[in-house]
Amino acid sequence: MAFEKNINDAQDRAKKIKLFGHDIHGVLTPNQVFCDVEGNRRYAFWHLDGFGDLSLMANDIKPIYLDTTSIDGEGLYRAKELKLDKFYYGVTDKVAKLEELKKELGLTDDQVGYIGCELTDIPVMKRAGFAVAVADAIPEVKELAHYITNAPGGRGPIREIGEFVLRGMGKWDEWVEKVTKMGYK
């Protein structure tokens, strides 16, 4: 999928990011919801996506959750488990939240990356210096993306993009060396 886009442009954009945001449903989780007979919802998270977020964080790139529809506790639990300090749910205006974060952190659009899958991601992807779509994103999202992951939502796109970004920055080999000596938790 990534080969459908200009990979050199994507690498140049990825090198600049300091903040990487992502949606939860359809990006960190597959496009399915498990419900029990009492109406309790459950989502599955791909373990290696946690490694992607941790890899970014360990290399001075702030991962954030920026979700419009999350009404469950699993996303919040996952953010706390990974020790993310920025996670937002029920965001009705992702662009406004992004602008707030950029101001707070002193960042420009070029320093922001974002991965999405659905219509609600389009406005923020238009602002991000490095816009990414998961492999199974809707066509409108893929059209806007600078990079399309090989992994579908909920099956490793954050792990994939973490490696892509760190390779582009020339930090991947050093990170691999560090992780193989200490683990990543």
Q: Which helix (H) or strand (E) holds 29?
A: none
pLDDT at position 183 over 80: no
Per-residue model confidence as pLDDT tens digits over 152-177: 998 999 999 999 999 999 999 999 99
pLDDT at position 75 over 80: no
**Residue 27's pLDDT is what?**
81
pTM (predicted TM-score): 0.89
Residues 6+ apart with CB under 8 A from 35: 41, 42
Can you read off the two tokens belonging to residue 88? Answer: 């937002």
Can you read off the two tokens belonging to residue 104? Answer: 């707070």
How does the average pLDDT of the chain come out, rounded? 88
Mean pLDDT across 28-57: 80
Mean pLDDT across 147-153: 95
**Residue 184's pLDDT is what?**
57
pLDDT at position 2 over 70: no
Q: Are 109 and 129 in contact (CB under 8 A)?
A: yes
Task: Quote the distance between the C-alpha of residue 96 and its chain's center.
Answer: 18
Q: How far apart are CA 168 and CA 146, in angstroms?
A: 14
Per-residue model confidence as pLDDT tens digits over 76-131: 777 778 888 888 788 889 999 999 999 999 999 999 999 999 999 999 999 999 99
pLDDT at position 185 over 60: no
Residue 116: φ, ψ to 5° = -145, -175
**Residue 70's pLDDT is what?**
60
Question: Domains of the chain, with CATH numbers?
Answer: 2-84+101-182 (3.40.50.1000)
Distances (CA, A) of 61 to 15, 20, 92, 126, 179: 11, 7, 24, 20, 17
Strand partners for 35: 41
